Structure 1
Amino acid sequence: MHSSVWTTAGLVGGYLTARVTGIRPLGGAVLAGCGAAAYREWQRSAGTGTAAALTGCYLVAFGLSHPLAKRLGPWPAVLSVSAATAAAAHAFADGRGSGAE
């Protein structure tokens, strides 16, 4: 699976899990698990340095979603950072033609 799918699942799924259950740490577990899966994909397709940079992007996106939610609303914020993170994952790792589809 492409890492952009993992990052989207982590950010959107983590938010949705926390919102529906009311258990923020459970949403964090979804975020972390999907982030770990994305990291493995990034490391395999683009190397450790790129994987570390994209992990930073993923974490910054999560952090930015909170202040953005105050301006845009929660769903637009989560969807915006998810799209940006998926685009970065595609540009720097998934789009490199690893052949894994």
Structure 2
Amino acid sequence: MAMIDIKSPENVSTAAVVSLGLLGGWLSARETGARPLGGVVLAAAGGWAARSWLAKTNPATTAALTGLYVGGFGASHPLAKKIGAWPAVAVVTAVTAGAAYALSDAK
């Protein structure tokens, strides 16, 4: 028996992982002042989600969801100038997590 039992990719809730990556990455960077730490959280969650998307769906859906995840991160910056940082991160997280659920987790 292994000390750490990691879920198989098919059993991971990627909507939750995406939320952790976007919200947790932003919060980590904001609270520590270390932007690279936020990037580590963002990248780790994105990699974990992409692993599951590939196992659950197909390469095209995986690429689309990965693009949305990275694009959401990028879009949150200009959106923050219009509506504020916290609302911007919440909006892109909701959109990305909703897409992850609809295109991968609900299947």
TM-score over 0.5 (shorter chain): yes
| Structure of greater Rg | 2
Instruction: Specify the code of the residue in structure 1 equivalent to 2:77.
Output: H
**1:21 equivalent in alignment to 2:36:** no
Runs of 4+ in 1 over 6 A off after TM superposition: none
Deviation at 1:49, TM superposition (A): 1.7
- The share of aligned pairs that are identical, in percent, is 51
Pairs within 5 Å for 1:11-90? 11-90=22-101
TM-score (norm 1): 0.92
Report the TM-score, using the length of structure 2 for normalisation.
Answer: 0.87
Measured in 1, the distance between the counterparts of 2:46 and 2:16 equals 10
Q: When the two structures are aligned, how many residues end up with a matched partner?
A: 96
How far off its partner does 1:91 sit?
1.1
1:8-59 CA-partner distances (Å, limit 9, x unpaired)? 0000000000001100011000000000000011011112221111000000
Q: Distance in 2 between matches of 1:72 and 1:4?
A: 24
Gaps of 5+ in 1: 97-101
CA distance in 1, matches of 2:83, 2:103: 28
Distance (Å, rounded) in 1 between the aligned partners of 2:39 and 2:94: 19
Distance 2:48 2:81 in 1: 29
5+ long unaligned stretches in structure 2 = 1-11
Which protein is richer in helix relative to its size?
1
- In the alignment, the residues of structure 2 paired with residue 87 and residue 41 of structure 1 have an alpha-carbon distance, to the nearest angstrom, of 16
